[in-house]
Every structure is written in C-alpha cells, then in structure tokens.
A = this chain, B = another copy of it.
Amino acid sequence: MPKPTFLNLPEAKRRRIVDLAVEEFAAHAYREASLTRIVRRAGIAKGSIYQYFADKFDLYMYVLQLAADRKLQYIGEALARLGPDPDFFETLAVSVEASIRLAREEPRLLELSANLLREPEDFRARVMGHFGHVAEATFQQWVSRAFARGQLDPNLPVEAAAYVVWTITTALGQDLASGRVTVDEAPGFYREVLKILEHGLRPRERPAP
C-alpha cells in the first residue's frame, strides 16, 4: 500500500503516476515492467517513487487493487439491477456483459488483470495471498446455489460443470485483452457461447446418462 506521502500528493500528480503505472503493467509482465520507464514518463525522479511506495511490488499491488475494485463495483452494480435470487445463467450473462463493457471503457485495466493470469505460478500465489480469492469463492457460491435450485443438471458432475463455466468465462478476459476477440464482436459472440453452456448444463426432460 502507498506511503502517506503519496496520498498527500495533489490529485493530478497522483493520477498521472497511477495512469502511467497501469499502462506499464498492462503492457509488460511484472518482471519486464520498468520503474525507470514509469518515472521517466511521469517526469519525476527515480527516488521519488520510493517515497510513495515501498518497492516495485507495492506499486504493482496498488494499481492491481484499483483495477479489482473497479471491476467488482462494475459487476456489483450490474448484478444489483437483477432481481433477488437471480438465475445462474442470467447472473453469468450479466457479469460477462458488464466485464465486456468495462473492457471497452478501460482496456488498460483489463490488460493489467489479464497479465496477472500469465505470471509465473509462484508470483500469482504471492499476489493471491495478499488478495483473497474473492472471484473464485463467489463463483463457487453461485454454482452451489444453482445446483441447489435445480438450475444445473443434477445428472452431471458438478465440479466438472463448474470447471467448464469457469474456464470459459476466464478465457473471455484473456481473449479480450489479447485482441483475439474484439470488444465489438464480444457481446454477440459471448451471448452465443453462454447460450451453448446453458443449453448443455440446464436440466432437460430426458435425463443425462
């Protein structure tokens, strides 16, 4: 977390630093991201960044936290507009749609968090240790609820079903960030993809083998 000095800074300067840090960590993996480059572009001295943050990792965690907060808030608002006790697949569709909207508005934030998934395993573990596994836990809760309410076919192994859904929704972030799927085609395409998941996972008349 930033040192008090950083929080005392005029907002414009603070924003400039944060924006450039986001850009740097969005464009490069953690190891390749360069503090020297950030301070140079921000027009501040090398030493100054160490008055604001303990070290490179501290700065990284700060901007990552910002991105996570933003995304959580975004999805939270979208879900709030849904009624109480919403359907699993509706929940999914709304979160995915919100994520795509966020990706359109703040592509750097998306790239930033997508990059985390590409980091070496030990680094990810270190980061996740500071965060909780919020997303994973929430998702598991959704799955349990869906299963209990008969929105997931009880004839299918629920862990495997959860794996499929989680993997697909996670791939969305990666593919959006890397440009393999554009933000323009994403909504329609992902609606189709989610329809397929729903088609395969919802209970049907004739039970599964």
Tell me the A residues contacting B by CB distance below 8 Å: 28-29, 31-32, 118-121, 156-157, 159-161, 163-164, 167-168, 171, 178-179, 189, 192-193, 195-197, 199-201, 204-206, 208-209
Contacts and interface: CB of A to CB of B under 8 A. Distances in A.
**This chain: how many copies in the complex?**
2
Nearest to A163: B193
Contact of A31 (B32, B179, B193, B195): B32
A96 to B, nearest CB: 13
B160 A189 contact: yes
A93 to B, nearest CB: 14
Contacts of A200: 196-197, 199-201
A157 B60 CA distance: 41
Given A159-B189, A204-B206, 19 more contacts: A28-B120, A29-B31, A29-B120, A31-B31, A121-B178, A121-B179, A157-B192, A157-B196, A160-B189, A160-B192, A160-B195, A160-B196, A167-B171, A171-B171, A196-B201, A199-B200, A199-B208, A199-B209, A200-B200
A120 to B, nearest CB: 7
A107 to B, nearest CB: 13
